[in-house]
Chain A
């Protein structure tokens, strides 16, 4: 043994010895003399390229693996989405892998539904139970009594799920995400006849105006746009990009803005149109853009007649001077780009407001221009109205027309109560969950067939809005599975095989891995000869397929038939007198829609704006709070028409006085020791039926009232509440 090896071994042993003294010694030491499998060399770390599937952004990752254990996740420098960078969530998926409360093997419910009491069973038994249930459906010619609920899947996994449901014969496949950019697709279809997601060239822009697009937290691709934002600010020698943010709450993204315009919620579309009108009136628009899109400034100006300055100022609650100034800045700085985001979209007039904002890009000539906005390179198929799909499924479930529900993800937590999903699901006699941890959905399940963690899985990850080039990340297992789990698509394949040859027909492959190889071969096949194994290994080594070839001619063009955006007057659930405050639910930078809550690193990560850890909170403007007699950290009750929750208050100077905001992500009934019973779920407050109309995904269109309960909010902030206002003491 070489001295250095010995030392490395020694260091490792020492480290593990400190960890726990109770494990038998031979388990701690890697048997050095026994030939190590999987290329394990003690003391030497290997890096494996993979992809992150935590959020739809799909960043490329490198995982440092030492002694067969994943140690650290870094960004993959070759991946065009994140260029070696990674967000807090992406790094934390390591804790998904090694979570102490992971479901170690299949579970069968042993107590009453929702009790969380399960008996461990074998995979054989688990699959047998599932097959039996499905066979019963087949026998009774009731194949459409099967439902599959997943997040919005892409790539091969989406194909597997779709094929499974198709060949089984059930139309009830709902892929729903609370934060899915359906609204962008809808707006793009209406304006451009093209549902491609936009890709904003932030790095090259000189003026960015974001209407509620929180690209630092969650909007489309946070790491990608974060990197671009850095470039926009200081990446060019002589230019510093200017950034204006419009939104009633100063989000983390808004905190980086040069100017914050706290517009009244729901008025953003009108504000954008008012700015458009100013541009048109002052002839500050881009002539060429009008020609290219087949529009005439005069007609447009006429159509926007009613958005005159006093009206827009009155609607948005901003001063006329500021609106004029921002409009001028936007029009006179080229390139300039306007982004539309979730806070705008999740209003009753969301889609039209988003279109109004896109119109600004057209006026400033930023469509398909460097520093402007392009259609995303990655082809984005998928539902345009997944919320509608969800509601119809709820209706079907309510009519007891679903007997078996297969659920991947945690919709019980991440879907507002008022959709009726939870009650409807309770009527389903047999629920199968594929969660890695006993989350809120798995707690309701009759059978839990635990999926692999991300770092144990195969897969292709199609990034969302990654740029003009197509990029597909490849997910590969970096460690041997920690527990007796199986990957979700493999379970579907195995079930299909058990259901008979007719069912198995669309799945000729041995396993999901084989299928994945096939898909990748198909993707490459069109271009070059595919020497299967070598290319495959090469792809794995690089972390995916990153192409630089660009489809020419593809770009946004205003559809001739498209109407002029006309955001209606925003409507809100709840009477203004009874519920005087607007509620905004927003994505916490740590938890996304709640999937990050089980991971302790994310729980411990202070929220950048409020510095709260391990909890939920409601943000209240200091003046409003004073009026209600609420102090920092008090326990308050927030009541909306559908519900009420109790949580601590944070006095938040960056929010409109007529608004309160609560981050998404906490308030889990399950989710392991770090998430369970922590904080509250603001979705319980969100009404989806507004003014008695059809339910719509307007998470920010609910009104609430806030009352003080006591001083015992048990709020923990890392930042000192008073010290946080004393920056003059450190002269920054």
Chain B
């Protein structure tokens, strides 16, 4: 066994000696076996894995074909028109930005609030953030009329002295998403460092070299751990305002306009709540998948689902309140054109509207009130999936009806997504899943360190006269 792993083990055994408080499972499990279990996803790919990757890849390829079709033919291959100039792409964009809040929520908020049950899903959630924000970031580019000059929106110094418009919410979207993407990659990467070192130690050849580079020479020294925890905590604290700002800015895309149904001050908090709702639901779905795929039944127990269910209940209540406030103020003000938009939405999109209300509000609130249902994996799966279906509909219902029936009754219109838009959206989903599948194969999807830290809870590392906590949350 390579050196650094030894050192990690010795470090750990050293810790174990220094304390008598240990986890119950500790004694029955050796470090190596634990690592094996945690890293099971990185075993050589099976035929089923290839089949899955191939299917996902095929969908992505189809989506890329659809996009290139759009690129070569023009925006007419989408269902957009005047007045509905935004459609499924922006729906997808807002949806995926919302999804990206899962990682932040779970790792940062739970990390700061010392919720220990977060640990097995930490890495998965963080990776989800990175992938969904990457997917989200592609939508605005796909959606451009002239995609090939998307870089006009980037504030780069150029000989023409042309700068983008800093008053535009779209520019801030771009900025926020880039920041969030970089932040969440850092967050993911820093959190993964010790695990990368483990993987490095277990692999050979080219792979080993690559992991060695990625692990940045992690040795597991106590000083490294101290810095690691400080950095993790700091990142956690920093990433939360970024996450909130990202969705606030996305909400500004709509709130700063004069489009009836968009022009609403409640949009930023409403969008953030919506994002967290879809993020929480996505994490629950993910927990179920990971639990099943990597046989982590022992780590992800019904207790964890119970906790997530409680969060879902709270967020769903919050979302319902925000939605209620939005509709209620519109109803009370009874601005004719705004009310027209809402009436049109209720009239034309009755079924999606009901589905959204059921998925986002009724269903989670009713089911999550019951402990038994919260602890039922099946119920949790259905609810969490329906929440995200509901959230996609919610984005759609914000964007399309408002544009369809905006201020000019004479040119009201309708919108129907074309095969290109649907393909690109499906490809986004598949691409997200594919990135995930690849990530799970190449990197430890379950945070080895995090889980083992769980076992090492309350273990304190003596460094000279200081007694350093081994857990970030304990600072």
Contact = CB atoms under 8 A, between A and B. Distances in A.
- In the complex they form, whether A and B have CB atoms below 8 Å apart is answered with yes
A702 B336 CA distance: 45
A727 B411 contact: no
Contacts of B412: 720, 722-723
Contacts of A722: 409, 412
Interface in A704-726: 718-720, 722-724, 726
Interface in B378-416: 405, 407-413
Contacts, number: 30
B334 to A, nearest CB: 13
A719 B411 contact: yes
A258 interface: no
B290 to A, nearest CB: 49
B340 interface: yes
Contacts of A730: 407-409
A561 interface: no
B410 A723 contact: yes
Interface residue tally on B, bucketed by range: 10 to 19
Contacts of A237: none
Nearest to B336: A729
A728 B405 CA distance: 14
B337 interface: yes
Contacts of B409: 720, 722-724, 726-727, 729-730
Contacts of B413: 720
A718 B408 contact: no
Nearest to A718: B411
Nearest to B409: A723
A307 B467 CA distance: 116
A724 B411 CA distance: 8
Given A728-B336, A729-B336, A729-B340, A720 B407 contact: no
Interface in B406-429: 407-413
Contacts of A728: 336
Nearest to B408: A730
Contacts of B408: 723, 730
A726 B407 CA distance: 11
A724 to B, nearest CB: 6
Interface in A631-649: none
Contacts of A720: 409-413
Nearest to A720: B412
A720 B408 CA distance: 10
A607 to B, nearest CB: 14
A56 B157 CA distance: 62
A729 B340 CA distance: 9
A349 B410 CA distance: 40
Contacts of B337: 729
Contacts of B405: 723
Contacts of B411: 718-720, 723
Nearest to B404: A720
Contacts of A729: 336-337, 340, 407, 409
A721 to B, nearest CB: 9
B336 A719 contact: no
A323 to B, nearest CB: 35
B169 to A, nearest CB: 26
B469 to A, nearest CB: 63
A668 B405 CA distance: 37
A724 B410 contact: yes
A375 B339 CA distance: 57
A729 B407 CA distance: 8
Interface residue tally on A, bucketed by range: 10 to 19
Contacts of B410: 719-720, 723-724
A611 to B, nearest CB: 8
Contacts of B336: 728-729
Interface in B117-143: none
A727 B408 CA distance: 9
Interface string A5-35: 0000000000000000000000000000000
A728 to B, nearest CB: 7
Nearest to B407: A730
A195 B88 CA distance: 66
Contacts of B340: 726, 729
Nearest to A725: B409
A724 B337 CA distance: 14
B203 to A, nearest CB: 54
Nearest to B414: A720
Contacts of A724: 409-410
A375 B122 CA distance: 94
A729 B410 CA distance: 10
Contacts of A723: 405, 408-412
Nearest to A721: B412
A536 B410 CA distance: 51
Interface in B315-366: 336-337, 340
B66 to A, nearest CB: 27
A565 to B, nearest CB: 43
A727 to B, nearest CB: 7
Nearest to A722: B412
A556 to B, nearest CB: 44
A720 B344 CA distance: 14
Nearest to A719: B410
Contacts of A718: 411
Nearest to B83: A720
Interface string A337-356: 00000000000000000000
Nearest to A611: B410
Interface in B435-450: none
Nearest to B405: A723
A723 B405 CA distance: 9
A728 B407 CA distance: 11
A590 B342 CA distance: 38
Nearest to B339: A729
Contacts of B407: 729-730
Nearest to A727: B409
A729 B412 CA distance: 12
A727 B411 CA distance: 12
A728 B411 CA distance: 15
Q: Which of A727, A728, A729 has the most CB of B within 10 A?
A: A729
A300 B267 CA distance: 76
A69 to B, nearest CB: 28
Nearest to B337: A729
A720 B409 CA distance: 7
A50 B407 CA distance: 43
A718 B336 CA distance: 23
A728 B339 CA distance: 13
A724 B410 CA distance: 5
A726 to B, nearest CB: 4
B144 to A, nearest CB: 20
Nearest to B411: A720
A722 B347 CA distance: 13
A719 B409 CA distance: 8
Interface in B193-249: none
Nearest to B260: A729
A261 to B, nearest CB: 27
Interface in A52-82: none
A650 to B, nearest CB: 15
A727 B337 CA distance: 11
Contacts of A726: 340, 409
A630 to B, nearest CB: 22
Q: Which of B408, B409, B411 has the most CB of A within 10 A?
A: B409
Interface string B251-268: 000000000000000000
Interface in A673-732: 718-720, 722-724, 726-730
Q: Which of B336, B407, B410 has the most CB of A within 10 A?
A: B410
A625 B141 CA distance: 48
A730 B406 CA distance: 11
Q: Lowest 3 CB-CB distances: which A-B pairs, in order?
A: A723-B409, A726-B409, A720-B412
Given A720-B412, A722-B409, 5 more contacts: A720-B411, A723-B409, A724-B410, A726-B340, A728-B336
9 contacts: A718-B411, A719-B411, A720-B409, A720-B413, A722-B409, A724-B410, A730-B407, A730-B408, A730-B409
